[in-house]
Homo-oligomer: A and B are copies of this chain.
Amino acid sequence: MKFRVKDLDLATGGPHIAALHKKDARHIDSRSGDRIIVKYGKKEVTCILDIAESKRELAPGSIGLFEEVLDKLKVKNGSIVELKFTGKPESVNHIREKLFGKQLCYEQLFRIADDITNDRLTEIEKTYFVSACFAHGLSIREIVDLTKALVLTGDKLKFGKLTLDKHCIGGIPGNRTTMVVIPIIAAAGFIIPKTSSRAITSPAGTADTMECLAKVELPPQKIKKIVKKNGACIVHGGSMNLAPADDKIIEVEHPLSIDAEGQLLASVLAKKYSVSADHVLIDIPMVKSSKAKNWKEANHLKERFELIGKKLGMNVKVIVTDGSRPIGRGIGPLFEAEDVMSVLRNDSHAPQDLRKKALFMAGVLLEMTGKYKKGEGEKAAIQILNSGKAWVKMNNIIDAQGRQKKPPRGKFTFCMNSNKTGKIIAVDNDIVAKIARIAGCPQDKGAGLILHKNVGDLVKKGELLYTVYAYNQFKLNLAKELICLNCGYGVEKS
């Protein structure tokens, strides 16, 4: 069957979509979501079928193509293409089996990951996969196999022996240890190619924060060169083809804030496995409203991470940390970057909680390599930081990635003062994160909060608790409205 191409002037950002008028679709007995092959010359693209309801959108006899399909086929408006039928991908059957509660084998999980990577599944089909895994759970064996499948349907990099990595589950505002740990580890002579994410629901991801200092969107070849030369990088993982199916799975988890344990384990470990890390440190902040509410839950996750890591041939160590309060002083990309740099620079006013946590983590990682005796790791980390070697290394990394001009601080500010004298007994992470986001984070890099007090500090009536920064009065006012409802601080009268 031949159809005339209509350039729909629309992109999906993923799936290959072709649309037919409903009359044509009925004539060829096809429904929305069916797969068709669109052929032009020798090129073929398998598309998901969409149905146009009215003639205004698409005339019968025409086939509407999205940008992704036009590009792949190199066709233009008005070209004649051929249409062939094809069944649904085999992986749809595997998803169906999982929904019925069956365990999937490696080959089946690989087919699913491969079809997700190559945009062969519809959103509905992907959602069925996520919810089936969520409702029925994944066995240890399935998680190991899913992790391998996620990695092997993308690129697997190999940097050399003693490649290290770290990861933190869940967002604690200001918890920017990565940017302190990486230069320490690299200065100690190990390889640590760090790929980070952008903020989804938090005020700043490591990639957003690093972007205040250096470029983070780099081509894979350049990243490899940077790591080869400097032992490390701090880049946005999205620009590399590491476990690409994982990112697409996360997209369908987002609408329901689903965070299935099996998928979390596979997701985190896939990123580590795809850079061939030998030693991986994972930080699980224990905090209400997370997957690690208490010691029991945190330890359960810890055991799983370490066991599955082992089965993948990685030395994984999990530390459970205090997730109940912000770390550092700044919240928002610029302010968090400033915290990091002040720690690396050994400034006397640098936030000591961030310094302490990062040194502890660097110490654990160094000891994991076997090159440091128990108890010697942290000492070595302190020595590297104090000597200025970590500062130099960070600047090398920044220069290698491409130094950026620091974004300006928000000019519109609001000072939140204590309404009583006493001791600060709580800072609500969720609330301060929300204030920062409403003030413009992560989009407005110089927006956010600077905390002048944290849990345990004494405060006098009228003394400053924190300052809010925004790029315009509108966003500042929105933040103030939220603060009126809940300022995020609990002060106990003394």
Chain A residues at the B interface, C-beta cutoff of 8 Å: 8-11, 13, 26-27, 29, 31-33, 51-54, 56-57, 67, 88, 92, 95-96, 99, 101, 122-125, 127-128, 131-132, 134-136, 251-252, 254-258, 437, 443
Could you jot down 12 A-B contacts, CB within 8 Å? A10-B10, A13-B53, A29-B443, A33-B254, A54-B67, A56-B67, A96-B257, A99-B135, A99-B256, A123-B124, A132-B135, A135-B135
Contact A252–B124 (Cβ < 8 Å) = yes
Cα distance A32–B11 when bound, in Å?
13
Contact B131–A9 (Cβ < 8 Å) = no
- Chain B residue at minimum C-beta to C-beta distance from A1: B474
With A13-B53, A57-B11, A127-B124 as given contacts, are A134 and B99 in contact (CB-CB < 8 Å)?
yes
Contact A128–B131 (Cβ < 8 Å) = yes
- Could you say which residues of chain B place their CB within 8 Å of the CB of A136? 135
Cα distance A135–B99 when bound, in Å?
7
Per assembly, the copies of the chain total 2
Q: Of the candidates B67, B128, B257, B437, which one forms a contact with A127 in the assembled complex, judged by CB atoms under 8 Å apart? A: B128
- Could you say which residues of chain B place their CB within 8 Å of the CB of A52? 10-11
With both chains docked as a complex, state the minimum distance between the C-beta of A361 and any C-beta of chain B, in angstroms: 30
Cα distance A346–B67 when bound, in Å?
60
With A33-B254, A256-B96, A443-B26 as given contacts, are A9 and B128 in contact (CB-CB < 8 Å)?
no
Contact B56–A9 (Cβ < 8 Å) = yes
Contact B125–A57 (Cβ < 8 Å) = no
With A29-B437, A57-B67, A443-B29 as given contacts, are A256 and B13 in contact (CB-CB < 8 Å)?
no
With both chains docked as a complex, state the minimum distance between the C-beta of A49 and any C-beta of chain B, in angstroms: 11
The list of the 7 closest CB pairs from A to B, nearest first, reads A135-B135, A131-B131, A127-B127, A11-B53, A13-B53, A33-B255, A124-B127
Cα distance A132–B33 when bound, in Å?
21
Cα distance A193–B227 when bound, in Å?
74
With both chains docked as a complex, state the minimum distance between the C-beta of A259 and any C-beta of chain B, in angstroms: 11
Cα distance A347–B136 when bound, in Å?
56
- Could you say which residues of chain B place their CB within 8 Å of the CB of A256? 92, 95-96, 99, 124-125, 128
